[in-house]
Chains A and B, each alone.
Chain A
Amino acid sequence: MSKIVKQEMMGMNGDTACAYAVKQCNPEVVAAYPITPQTIIVEVFSEYVANGEVTTEFIPVESEHSAMSTSIGAAAAGARAYTASASQGLALMYEMLYIASGLRLPIVMTCVNRALSAPINIHGDHSDAMGARDSGWLQLYCENSQEAYDTIIQAWRIAEHKDVLLPVMVNIDGFILSHTLENVSVIPDDAVKKFIGEKKIPVVKKPNGELTPYILHPDYPASIGAIDLQDYYFEHKRQQAEAMNNALKVIKEIGEEYGELTGRTYGLIDPYMMDDAEIAIIVMGSTAGTAKYVADLMRNKGVKAGVLRVRSFRPFPRDDIVKALKNIKACAVLDRSMSFGSYGGPLFTEIRSSFCYECDKPIIVNYYYGLGGRDAPPNLLDNVFNELKNIAETGKTGEEIRYLGLREGEKDAVNYKAELVSFKDLNTGKIGGK
């Protein structure tokens, strides 16, 4: 393929890679509030604004709730709007996330994945994005900074596609990607401009057959976000479900088109050595890179190990995942967030239910790992492959829900438990005190 565009290698961390991609996309509005570990995106982008390298209206808002509100207003008026957040910031955006998707506004956001308080923790896990998994946003999880850069550029095309028209959240692991220097191949500004193209405004048909643009525009009076009760709300939600389903096809198409331009093709899933694999790790985000490295080591030892990275969690590529895993004997789903009280993590429950009606299904176990930025080094993933090997050989599943890299301690230790006392006992010094 000679169509591949000339590229330049730059040393960038994940945040800078996102900011650089946004600079090249030059959206009309960026509204953001800084929060660790997303801060660098906002800092770097505000420098681009100050240097006149973009024509973006940069709005340093007073909170993340306002950041998303501003993005919604801008997008409703026909602008390309970008924001970025993490953890508590994303949590503060929560109600506005649903409004962005419900109003079908193609906003692009980077979520630099970080644990949620309490206890307070600034490091990477997927709890923040998983809290927003049902908000109607597309969620793409990146393995490295290169993919973060590439995905931001693709995100506009996916979000603004006429069959989708939904906001896109590009997820990168906090610190592991956001603050780690990496070689990133960047494509020229004009190639980005050409790829994302001019912003188009959706035109919809009224029930009487007349056309009307979906925009807040003085020449086309309309209300966006009017009340919608028992009679029509359900129908509008069904439309969102349809748009999400359409996104499955669109993410693939745009990923392939981007591949023709850059030589880097993206899809819904990223299978690694899966063709003849017998055991596999299924994971999202940066840990996939470590898992691929460990799979290579296992292959050197003659073990048929593979890795299936899920890039698109929303929409969930059920068919692709089932197809990729159909010849696997045993696999481990790694979840970097907890859905407290559920039977397994969010990725695990969804992958397992995907196999509910399949005749050939692998043994699937779940590992919680990396919460609060806890390291997932090669030796831990090596343990996972070894345990999978054992499960595949014996056919014995053992514990289905497991914890990776957690200190289990002595079984009879009870310090994590509490006893209750009355205020009277406190006041009379029964348990010490001053």
Chain B
Amino acid sequence: MSEEKSWREIPMGGLTWLHSVEYKTGEWRSFRPVVDHDKCTRCMQCVIYCPDIAIKYKPDVNMIEIILDHCKGCGVCAEECPVHAITMVKEKE
């Protein structure tokens, strides 16, 4: 958050006007999913399970991409991956 404004300087009711894509909610993450693209079978289970729609399949390169701006590191993808192609590593590593 940039410089904090006074009550007279902000719109009423807590209105926020950006598209939710523009809010970088991945900052909360303490664990980060890492994909082993050799193991990955492109089954898309992770894409379906991700509660933040932060995993995308990129058909041009035939690969899964994790959008770290929105991934909160919940680990659902790693848990659900049938071939264990996703591992959670500490954010700082």
Binding site for B on A (CB under 8 A): 102-104, 165, 202, 204-207, 212, 214, 220-226, 228, 231-236, 238-239, 242-243
Contacts and interface: CB of A to CB of B under 8 A. Distances in A.
A220 B18 CA distance: 9
Given A207-B9, A231-B4, A225 B17 contact: no
Contacts of B62: none
Contacts of A207: 5, 9-10
Contacts of A103: 13-14
B71 to A, nearest CB: 18
Interface of B: 1, 4-7, 9-20
Nearest to A210: B17
A225 B12 CA distance: 11
Nearest to A228: B14
Residue from B5, B10, B17, B20 whose CB has the most chain A CB atoms within 10 Å: B17
Given A207-B5, A235-B6, A212 B12 contact: no
Contacts of A222: 15-17
7 contacts: A204-B12, A207-B9, A222-B15, A222-B16, A225-B14, A232-B4, A236-B14
B27 to A, nearest CB: 14
Nearest to A215: B15
A226 B4 contact: no
A225 B24 CA distance: 18
Contacts of A239: 7, 10, 12-13
Contacts of B17: 206, 212, 220-223
Q: Which 10 A-B pairs have the closest CB atoms?
A: A204-B11, A235-B7, A104-B13, A238-B7, A228-B14, A222-B17, A223-B16, A226-B16, A103-B13, A221-B19
B18 A236 contact: no
A423 to B, nearest CB: 48
Contacts of B6: 235
B20 A236 contact: no
B11 A212 contact: yes
B13 A205 contact: no
B18 A205 contact: no
Contacts of A102: 13-14
Nearest to A240: B12
